[in-house]
Amino acid sequence: MSDRPGPRALAAERTDYLAASLPDDAPEDPLALFATWLEEAFARREERGDLYDPSAAVLSTVALAEDGTPSPRSRTVLLKGHDADGFVLYTNLDSDKARELRAAARASLLLPWYALQRQVRIEGAVRPVPAEESDEYWAQRPRGSQLGAWASHQSREIASREALEAQYAAAETRFAGVDVPRPSFWGGLRLRPERLEFWQGRAHRVHDRIAYTRTADGTWERHRLQP
């Protein structure tokens, strides 16, 4: 007889959402609200440690098959900057996500701050950041992360973990005693937001949802949505 536990009865799982409300007079600028929520997420991590990485975001793209069939794909990335121009991440520009964004330069980001019973969804167009900006961020990266970028042909198949570690060792040897330069195949991508939605968990599943949509003149329209 197996000692393995049976499947969890997910239909019976319940979580109470008891956070404070998201008021109707939320800021007119969604980027200001995002900055506030991000700082509160980092404060939660520092105070309680139950929010592992506030900068982690789920990036969703669409890949097109040869017959034109869309295939949505999502993966977790790290947000490395945000300002009036948009939200920035860095990656191997030959990776699946970068190639998908070159083919269809639109994406969404989802930042799930579960410990705060919050999430933010951001949608918009994506474009490369200038090379100087990528250089500036690259210079801040730990040397090990720089070497890892050279070692990994991101999204490509590899025979084993040992083979990957051998590629890393080769990068260490190649750049021994010198600064590690930024590879031409590595850089930043910026999502310029056209829509943001702020979600706050509330009691009885009557959650708060405030959406912002960018208008043609660059201003924002704010709407409350039903949960």
Catalytic residues: 205
51 annotated to bind ligand: no
- Find out whether 226 is annotated in a ligand binding site: no
Dmax over CA atoms of the chain, in Å, equals 68
Annotated binding-site residue? 60 = no
**Annotated binding-site residue? 97:** yes
138 annotated to a ligand binding site:
no
Per-position DSSP letters for the chain, written without gaps between them: ---SPPPP-GGG------PPP--TT--S-HHHHHHHHHHHHHHHHHHHS-S--TTEEEEEEEEE-TT--EEEEEEEEE--EEETTEEEEEEETTSHHHHHHHHS-EEEEEEEEGGGTEEEEEEEEEEEPPHHHHHHHHHHS-HHHHHHHHH--TTS--S-HHHHHHHHHHHHHHTTTSPPPPPTTEEEEEEEEEEEEEEE--GGG--EEEEEEE-TTS-EEEEEE--
Task: Tell me if 152 is assigned to a ligand binding site.
Answer: no
Say whether 154 counts as a known binding-site residue.
yes
Annotated binding residue at 80?
A: yes
Q: Does 126 carry a binding-site annotation?
A: no
Asked whether residue 108 is marked as a ligand-binding residue, the answer is: no
**Does 58 appear as a known binding residue?**
no
What number of residues does the chain have?
227
CB 33 within 8 A of CB 88: no
> Is 140 annotated to bind ligand?
no
Give the span between the Cα atoms of 44 and 202, in whole angstroms: 19
The annotation status of 52 as a binding-site residue, yes or no, is no
Query: Do 109 and 192 form a contact (C-beta atoms < 8 A)?
Result: no
Q: Residues forming the annotated binding site for FMN?
A: 75-80, 90-91, 97, 119, 154-155, 199, 209
Q: Residues forming the annotated binding site?
A: 14-17, 75-80, 90-91, 97, 119, 137, 141, 145, 154-155, 199, 205-207, 209
Q: Residues forming the annotated binding site for substrate?
A: 14-17, 80, 137, 141, 145, 205-207
